[in-house]
C-alpha cells in the first residue's frame, strides 16, 4: 500500500510539473489503476483524488478556490466551496462519486485511460 501511495504521488508530481500541453500527453492511468487491470474503479479514483490533493495543495486543510494553483483547478472542478469560497479535502472526497460519474463517459462503471486523463484536464 505504501508503494502504491508513493507511485500515486509520483504520478501527480509528474502531472503537475508538466506544462498544460505536456500534461495532456501524460497518462496517469498507471498510477491511479492500483491493481493494473486497465480500469480505474470509483475506489481507485477517490484514492487518486486524495493523493492529488495532498501533492498539488501540499496537504493544506483547505484552499480558496479562486486562489488555487492553475494545475489544481481541474482537481477542484465540481467541488462546492463553502460560504467563504474555501474547499477542503473532505469536500473533494465527498464530490468524488459525482466527479467519477462525469468522467465515466461511456457509463460502464470504470474509467479507461482517456476518461481518467480527461477528468484531470481543465474544461
In the chain, the number of structural domains is 1
Q: What is the DSSP string of 23-54?
A: HHH--THHHH-TT-SS-B-HHHHHHHHHHHHH
Residues contacting 19, CB < 8 A, separation 6+: none
Dump pLDDT digits (tens) for 21-79.
434 457 889 889 999 999 999 999 999 999 999 988 998 999 998 888 888 999 999 99
Distance of alpha carbon 56 from alpha carbon 111, whole angstroms: 22
Q: What is the DSSP string of 75-86?
A: HHTTPPP-TTSE
Domain span including residue 48? 2-119
**CB neighbours (10 Å) of residue 83?**
5
Lowest mean pLDDT among 3-17, 58-72, 106-120: 3-17
Strands (E), 26-100: 62-64, 86-88
Distance of alpha carbon 45 from alpha carbon 26, whole angstroms: 17
Amino acid at each position: 500500500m505504501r508503494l502504491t501511495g508513493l507511485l500515486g504521488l509520483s504520478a501527480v508530481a509528474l502531472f503537475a510539473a508538466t506544462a498544460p500541453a505536456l500534461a495532456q500527453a501524460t497518462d496517469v492511468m498507471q498510477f491511479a489503476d492500483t491493481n493494473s487491470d486497465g480500469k480505474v474503479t470509483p475506489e481507485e479514483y477517490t484514492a487518486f483524488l486524495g493523493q492529488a490533493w495532498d501533492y498539488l495543495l501540499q496537504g493544506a486543510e483547505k484552499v480558496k478556490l479562486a486562489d488555487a494553483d492553475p494545475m489544481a483547478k481541474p482537481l477542484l472542478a465540481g467541488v462546492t466551496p463553502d460560504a467563504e469560497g474555501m474547499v477542503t479535502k473532505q469536500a473533494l472526497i465527498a464530490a468524488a462519486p459525482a466527479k467519477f460519474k462525469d468522467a465515466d463517459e461511456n457509463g460502464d462503471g470504470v474509467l479507461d485511460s482517456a476518461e481518467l486523463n480527461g477528468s484531470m484536464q481543465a474544461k
